[in-house]
């Protein structure tokens, strides 16, 4: 049977931001990864990031004048009419929903497109979407991908190519509503997980609106010279993580879950990583953001790879965070690793300290760091001597966390700054759907399954009934940010905050 031609649009919705937070593109790697797979399959594919637009869309104006939403959040991006125009000539529209705080925008786009184009096939995926199936189907999505999507999207595309009324029942790793209105869930299978990451198609970074990202120069973290074009791109050299922290989506991505065991740590070969870097260099990229959940999860492999990257000419940032235990050897700074990172071009690194309480780290953070044994002072001093700009991440507000434990975390952050840490980030604990912490929060009455996604973010209390009340957590978080951080860092961050027009 001949397959008909179809066109695929990967749509990244406008972004919503709380007033006072940076309005910036999500720029999820899902889009270039999926686009690479679809293009390698010989199918026409396009990426449209509705946060920054393309062509004649007024980039500077959109960021300077975000619009106020009924929720009080600020919307940055193109108009609804512009979105409808972008999707008009495409048969399949895919919208990723990894980030719960952006769920509202994903659902809004789905409703908008479904109302205007009832025959288009709408698909979504990501940890948030698979954890919130009823809401996504109610908004008009036809399919939710439950696992990593590079192969799944090809099966979906071919089903649509075979028939304008496709049958998805034989596809594993998807959920859909059947003709009778019942939700069908075909869980992912372990045998469908890509264990050799070199088998994945090369990401289609060239389909991203890179020049617009570089003009705005607002990556997800870090500190950069204001007003200077930042020619950056994101990449991953591995997937999964050897740890399974309760607050992380990986804690739910195990054998027997809807996603299958995609949380297991898997690596790309050195040759594949070098090939991806060559591709980015050809695009004009100068700054590379490593998004691995555990870059140094296999230290021997990491050292070998870092040494091969030396001389590549990139400035490299790991702002997703490097697990601190991997920067240590017998609880002291591992100078072999630090030297390799510096030699490879790393400039900025986030350090996920998480908590000053050993009990909290053992219970919620995989017991991955013994802060009572680790010589963090020597590590920070050493990292500064190697020339890194380093930031610390700290989390406040676990369900059973005491005020004493929170104060211990704040004291730890103050100590780290006194040793030379450049700045601190304080996050209120978020029970993300798909994580073990979410299940715990729902079971213990700290959270309801029908929560409003607009209230879920790292700046406010997301749970009720915590030992330290939510309003107190927010006051502590805001006070710590202003008190512990250098004034220059606070001012630099405030230059990019969302402001109502």
Q: What is the pLDDT of residue 21?
A: 85
The residues, any chain, with a CB within 8 Å of residue 418's CB and separated by 6 or more, are none
Residue 501 has pLDDT above 70, yes or no: no
Q: What does the alpha-carbon distance between residue 297 and residue 242 come to, in Å, rounded to a whole number?
A: 7
Indicate the pLDDT class of residue 307, thresholds 50, 70 and 90: very high
How does pLDDT run across 400-455, given as a tens digit for each residue?
999 999 999 999 999 999 999 999 999 999 999 999 999 999 999 998 888 899 98
Q: Please check the confidence at residue 23 and state whether its pLDDT lies above 90.
A: no
Q: What is the mean pLDDT of residues 210-229?
A: 90
On average, the pLDDT of the chain sits at 95
Q: Distance between CA atoms of 297 and 292, rounded to whole angstroms?
A: 9
The residues with which 299 forms a beta bridge, in sequence order, are none
CB 76, CB 23: distance < 8 Å: yes
- Give residue 448's pLDDT: 86
Average pLDDT over residues 289-305: 97
Cβ atoms of 80 and 53 within 8 Å: the answer is no
Residue pLDDT, tens place only, 130-142: 999 999 999 999 9
Q: Which residues of 276-308 are buried (b: 16+ CB within 10 A; e: fewer)?
A: bbebbeeeebebbbbbbbbbbbbbebbbebbee
Give me the percent of the chain exceeding a pLDDT of 70: 99
Question: Residue range 105-114: average pLDDT?
Answer: 98
pLDDT at 119 over 90: yes
Provide the pLDDT for residue 61: 93
Q: What are phi and psi of 495, to 5 degrees?
A: -65, -20
Task: Tell me how far apart the alpha carbons of residues 441 and 436 are, in angstroms, rounded to a whole number.
Answer: 9
Residue 245's pLDDT is what? 96
- According to the model, what pLDDT value does residue 500 have? 67
């Amino acid at each position: 049977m001949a397959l008909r031609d179809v066109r695929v649009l990967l749509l990244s919705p406008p972004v919503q931001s709380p007033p006072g937070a940076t309005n910036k593109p999500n720029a999820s790697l899902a889009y270039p990864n999926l686009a690479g797979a679809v293009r390698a399959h010989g199918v026409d594919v396009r990426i449209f990031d509705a946060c920054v637009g393309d062509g004649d869309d007024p980039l500077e104006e959109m960021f300077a004048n975000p619009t106020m939403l009924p929720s009080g959040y600020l919307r940055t991006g193109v108009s609804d009419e512009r979105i409808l125009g972008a999707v008009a000539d495409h048969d399949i529209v895919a919208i990723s929903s990894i980030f719960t705080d952006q769920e509202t925008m994903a659902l809004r786009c789905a409703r908008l497109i479904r109302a205007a184009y009832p025959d288009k096939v709408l698909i979504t995926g990501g940890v948030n979407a698979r954890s919130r199936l009823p809401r996504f189907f109610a908004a008009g999505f036809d399919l939710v991908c439950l696992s990593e999507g590079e192969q799944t999207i090809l099966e979906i595309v071919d089903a649509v190519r075979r028939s304008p009324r496709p049958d998805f029942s034989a596809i594993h790793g998807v959920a859909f509503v059947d003709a009778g209105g019942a939700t069908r869930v075909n869980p992912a299978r372990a045998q469908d997980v890509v264990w050799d990451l070199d088998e994945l198609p090369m990401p289609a970074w060239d389909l991203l609106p890179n020049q617009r990202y570089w003009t705005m120069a607002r990556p997800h973290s870090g500190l950069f010279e204001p007003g200077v074009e930042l020619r950056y791109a994101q990449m991953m050299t591995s997937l999964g993580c050897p740890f399974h922290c309760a607050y992380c989506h990986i804690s739910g991505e195990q054998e027997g879950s809807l996603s299958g065991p995609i949380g297991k740590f898997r690596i790309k070969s050195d040759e594949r990583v070098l090939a991806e870097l060559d591709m980015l260099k050809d695009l004009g990229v100068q700054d590379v953001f490593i998004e691995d959940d555990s870059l140094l999860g296999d230290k021997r492999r990491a050292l070998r790879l870092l040494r091969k990257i030396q001389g590549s000419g990139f400035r490299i940032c790991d702002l997703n965070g490097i697990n601190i235990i991997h920067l240590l050897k017998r609880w002291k700074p591992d100078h072999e690793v630090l030297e390799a990172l510096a030699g490879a071009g790393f400039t900025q690194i986030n350090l996920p300290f998480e908590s000053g309480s050993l009990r909290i780290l053992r219970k919620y953070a995989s017991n991955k760091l013994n802060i009572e044994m680790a010589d963090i002072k020597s590590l920070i001093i050493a990292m500064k001597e190697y020339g890194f700009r380093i930031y610390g991440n700290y989390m406040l507000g676990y369900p059973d966390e005491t005020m004493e434990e929170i104060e211990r975390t704040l004291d730890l952050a103050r100590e780290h700054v006194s040793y030379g840490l450049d700045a601190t980030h304080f996050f209120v604990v978020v029970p993300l759907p798909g994580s073990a912490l979410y299940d715990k929060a729902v079971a213990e009455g700290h959270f309801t399954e029908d929560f409003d996604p607009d209230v879920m973010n790292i700046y406010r209390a997301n749970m009720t009934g915590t030992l330290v009340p939510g309003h107190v957590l927010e006051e502590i978080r805001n006070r710590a940010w202003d008190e512990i951080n250098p004034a220059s860092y606070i001012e630099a961050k405030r230059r990019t905050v969302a402001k109502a027009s």
